[in-house]
Amino acid sequence: MLKKLLPLVLLAFPAMPANAQYGFPSFADLAERLIPTVVNISTLQQPETLDMQVDTVEGRVALGSGFIIDNDGYIITNYHVIENAQMINVVLFDNTEVDAEIIGGDEKTDIALIKIEPPFELDKVKFGNSDNIRVGDWILAIGNPFGLGGSVTAGIVSAKSRDIAAGPYDNFIQTDASINQGSSGGPMFNMNGEVIGINTALFSSTGTSTGVGFAIPINTAGWIIGQLEQSGEVKRGWIGLRIQANTRETAKMLNLKEGQGVVVSSITENSPAAKAGILVGDVILNLGKTEISNPKDFSRLVAETPVGKEIQLLLWRNQEVRTVAVKVQDMPKPAKTEIKSNNVPVVENDEIVRITGIKMREITPDIIKALNLSPMTMGLLVESVDVNSDAAKMGLKRGDIIMKIDKKDVLTLNAALGYIREAKQENNRPVTLLIQPQEQNTINVLLVKLRQ
């Protein structure tokens, strides 16, 4: 029977085109056309040395990527690539080096705009529509991994609308295309050669690509880049309320479907929401004609609404639908608060070290100054890592910043210990750490096992 079927099986394979092997496409023509639009970025960050027990270096070079968006020399990259940079050097595809200036940056979405004086006529990218990309579509990523220079990787879209707790407006495209340190800020292209994302972060157990990378959708970036080009900063809309997801239990009590709308949990006094008569417990079903199903989407829609514009909210209250008009205001700037620490009981850190192998330190203004960190840096400094711990095997190093544990902000050792104890009590499950490495310009997500 096998001998009879074998000729039929062989005939089922079509002849391969000259530029493809085993049914896979060749990206050579596309890569050749797109590489000139991508740049390598290096920055010099010069921290001040203080008399304290934190090692610093005299200068630090951070590597990243970017892409040219017009003939005037504007380049998009990640905010964390150019953060605190005193000097920015851009290397074009032909190895021409030029200095760049920062036009503006937005920490909340990790997007920045820089500019060079073009030494010759520049190639620029074309923008695509990231909403049209589908899970399973081929994509191409170009960047500067490990400072090696322009490199091309290919993969597929693995998922959309990913929330990795990197910021308040997370909406990442997930891909299996290799994204490594130095690739941050580089473009993600569709097969038409259009940019549909900005490569930003990787989920890693080793500090290198494990096939899970994340990109900011270009549709999210568009209005941010426009504002940065005009004024160097981003103004966001605000109406002054806090919301939470409409869970199964809440929806059942309210006679709604799970995920239908978002629930108002608190309202700022004298805010636009308060003046419009919105009440705690109201469910926001629609913003204009857009149905609302989760807090992230609602927050993003409000933030992207022009200041001064009136929006219509469809509410569910007392088993009735009603509409209210709310005038959007400029989002207030967060008050700067000093991160106080020190005088923390040693026993607290001892327990963290015993469970995780990580010795952490709360970030003080002195540490921020010594390590040349952003004044708004939130998290815990990694002071040392036990070489035999899982954290060390995952690539965590001294000087890294732990920004979140299990998607929750950590500002104190007490908070970190609480989250770690929770994981310990839940069958010793691993904890997810959102990391900003000191020596690498990227954001990593590490899954760290706890000790027994």
User: 446 pLDDT exceeds 50?
Assistant: yes
- 346-448 shares the fold of 237-330: yes
Structural domain spans, the chain: 25-235, 237-330, 346-448
Res. 79: pLDDT tops 50: yes
pLDDT, tens digit, for every residue of 297-313?
898 899 989 999 999 99
pLDDT band at 339 (very low <50, low <70, confident <90, very high): very low
pLDDT at 435 over 50: yes
CB atoms within 10 A of CB 302: 24
pLDDT at 166 over 70: no
Please state, rounded to an integer, the average pLDDT across all residues of the chain.
81
**Residues sharing a CB contact under 8 Å with residue 88, sequence separation 6 or more, in sequence order:** 41, 42, 43, 82, 99, 100, 101, 102, 114
51 secondary structure, DSSP code = S
pLDDT score, position 252? 85
Mean pLDDT of 402-411: 85
219 contacts 172 by C-beta, under 8 angstroms? no
Three-state secondary structure call for residue 365:
helix
pLDDT digits 0-9 by tens, 353-391: 989 999 999 888 788 777 777 666 778 999 989 888 888
CATH topology of domain 346-448: Pdz3 Domain (2.30.42)
Looking at residue 408, its pLDDT comes to 82
Give the integer Cα–Cα distance in Å for 92 and 39. Answer: 5
pLDDT at 343 over 70: no
- pLDDT at 96 (0 to 100): 94
Cα distance between residue 395 and residue 440, in whole Å: 12
pLDDT of 117 reads 95
pLDDT at 345 over 50: no
Give pLDDT, residue 177.
83
What is the rounded distance in angstroms from the CA atom of residue 449 to the CA atom of residue 429?
7
116-151 tens-digit pLDDT: 999 999 999 999 999 999 999 999 999 887 666 678
Q: In this structure, what are the phi and psi dihedrals at residue 296, rounded to the nearest 5 degrees?
A: -60, -45
Burial of residue 343 (CB within 10 Å: 0-12, 13-18, 19+) is exposed
Architecture (CATH level 2) of domain 237-330: Roll (2.30)
pLDDT at 197: 93
**pLDDT for 277 beyond 60:** yes
- The predicted pLDDT at position 254 comes to 83
pLDDT digit string, tens, across residues 28-76: 999 999 999 999 998 876 544 333 344 444 455 667 899 999 999 999 9
User: Is 80 exceeded by the pLDDT of residue 4?
Assistant: no
Q: What percent of the chain has pLDDT over 90?
A: 37
Facing residues of 91 across strands?
40, 97
pLDDT of residue 225: 92
Residue type, 216: I
**What's the pLDDT at 365?**
79
**Residues 143 and 37: beta-carbon distance below 8 Å:** no
pLDDT of residue 66: 94
Least confident range of 5-19, 83-97, 268-282: 5-19
Q: Confidence class of residue 10 from pLDDT cuts 50, 70 and 90?
A: very low
User: Which of 202, 110, 108 has the alpha carbon at shortest distance from 162?
Assistant: 202
- Sign of the dihedral through C-alpha 438, 419, 203, 75: negative
**pLDDT of 5 above 50:** no
- 375 with 386: CB under 8 angstroms? no
Q: In the predicted model, is pLDDT for residue 346 greater than 70?
A: no
Give the per-residue pLDDT at 179.
78
Task: Give the catalytic positions in this structure.
Answer: 80, 110, 184
Whether the per-residue pLDDT at 154 is higher than 80: the answer is yes
The answer, yes or no, to whether residue 1 has pLDDT greater than 60, is no
- State the residue for tokens 């409000």: 302
Question: Are the C-beta atoms of 43 and 89 separated by less than 8 Å?
Answer: yes
321 exposure class (CB count in 10 Å sphere: 0-12, 13-18, 19+): exposed
Query: 25-235: what fold?
Result: Thrombin, subunit H (2.40.10)
